[in-house]
Amino acid sequence: MFKTTFRPLTLVIAMAAGTVAAYAENPMVGGAAMPADKNIVENAANSADHTTLVAAVQAAGLVETLSGAGPFTVFAPVNAAFEALPAGTVDTLLKPESKEQLTKVLTCHVVAAEVMSDALAKMIMDAGGEADVTTVGGCVLKAKAEDGKVTLTDENGGVATVTIADVKQSNGVIHVIDTVILPKS
């Protein structure tokens, strides 16, 4: 009887350990755990570093889309990236009359596929050191890998560095970046 009871208990413990390991695989972002079974919007809303991004996603009406099945890759700028924009830019973009422009900016941070960092690195290597990444918003980003860092150059020459990669979501992946990507001006 002990053996019969012991085996299912071992299986439950192993399954529980696997669940903990699944959560442990994702790095903390903005002081919050990023459970892989939550979607992009749910996890971003928990990050203290992404409050401006979440407010922008809400203002643009993209919550439902980015909560959907995906898969999506989101290059998620931190609050400091939005603060580095010229004074008044964020306030202007968050106004209802700027919704179209805000949507364009945000969708230039989204790829309609799950692109983990190893796949991005392979794309870069296969393309000879610089790969084009086309976003949902139609922006073409130039991805490069140098000195162990991945950078994305937007169509205006702005460069964003991936600071936290491979934050797995139920509907894709988030890569945290330090600069807001802007569409061609």
- For residue 139, name the pLDDT band (cuts at 50, 70, 90): very high
pTM confidence score: 0.85
pLDDT at 8 > cutoff 70:
no
φ, ψ for residue 176, nearest 5 deg: -75, 135
Mean pLDDT (whole number) for 155-171: 95
Q: Each residue of 18-74: pLDDT tens digit? A: 333 344 488 878 888 898 999 999 999 999 999 999 999 999 999 999 999 989 999
* Tokens (6 digits) for 86: 């010229």
The pLDDT value recorded for residue 1 is: 37
Distances (CA, A) of 17 to 2, 20, 40, 41, 170: 22, 5, 24, 26, 19
Q: What average pLDDT score do residues 143-171 get? A: 94
Structure tokens at 15: 């399954």
For the stretch 39-51, pLDDT in tens is 999 999 999 999 9
- State the pLDDT at residue 185: 77
Are the beta carbons of 116 and 175 closer than 8 angstroms? no
Task: Map out the domains of the chain with their CATH numbers.
Answer: 28-177 (2.30.180.10)
